[in-house]
Amino acid sequence: MRQIFFLLSCLLTAPLNAEMIGEVEYHLPESAKEWEIKKMPAGQDVGTTILYTPKGPATPGNVEFFGVNSNSFPTDLKDRNLLESELKKQFPTQQIEVKQLGQDDHSVLYEWDIKDNGVEKLHVWTRVFSLKGGTVLLVFQTEKTQDLANAEKIWTAVLKDAKVVEQPK
């Protein structure tokens, strides 16, 4: 009987450990549980944005964050070229490589990097959800390119495990 109550309590508290942005539920990895949370002001143009950053000062070449955004803009999940063209506007002199890692009915998972003279300067994993009310973005971005294998393992799992949760009516 005690085991049943323990299992029930675990099941009931599990959703409390999840984070939500719009209609998407996600779980921060253990390594980011103590990160600072910065909620950006909501606005018509950007919606709601939350940034999770490691504690302490960021130094050049050592910047990383996990960010989530919910907005009312529609998204075409099949338009990888649009992502590439927007990135080229932001990084006009660097080389950009975009890979699609997966797609389902509501979302697409991308990995992309920015190189300057052949040297990787920025690496990003992004999951884009296209929903009835707009778009939800989950993004991990890092300049710490020396340990990408570990970052990829952790953050692609976070992005892949994120899911759409219907809100109660």
Number of domains the chain contains: 1
Element (H, E) at 139: strand 134-142
Q: Is residue 3 part of a domain?
A: no
Which among 57-61, 75-79, 109-113 has the top mean pLDDT?
A: 109-113
Looking at per-residue pLDDT, the higher value among 5 and 111 belongs to 111
- pLDDT at position 117, please? 92
Supply the pLDDT for residue 44: 63
Residue 140 has which token pair? Answer: 């991990």
In a domain, 154, yes or no: yes
2 within a domain of the structure (yes/no)? no
What does the pLDDT read at residue 59? 79
Domain containing 131 equals 20-164
What is the predicted pLDDT for the residue at 142? 93
pTM metric for this prediction: 0.83
Task: Evaluate whether residue 117 is within a structural domain.
Answer: yes
49-67 residue pLDDT tens: 999 999 888 777 778 999 9
CA distances, 67 to each of 45, 125, 141, 162 (Å): 17, 11, 8, 13
In DSSP notation, 20-64 reads: EETTEEE---GGGTTSEEEEEEEETTTEEEEEEE-SS---TT--E
Residue 4 lies in a domain: no
List the beta bridge partners of residue 163. Answer: 25
pLDDT tens readout for residues 37-52: 988 877 666 688 999 9
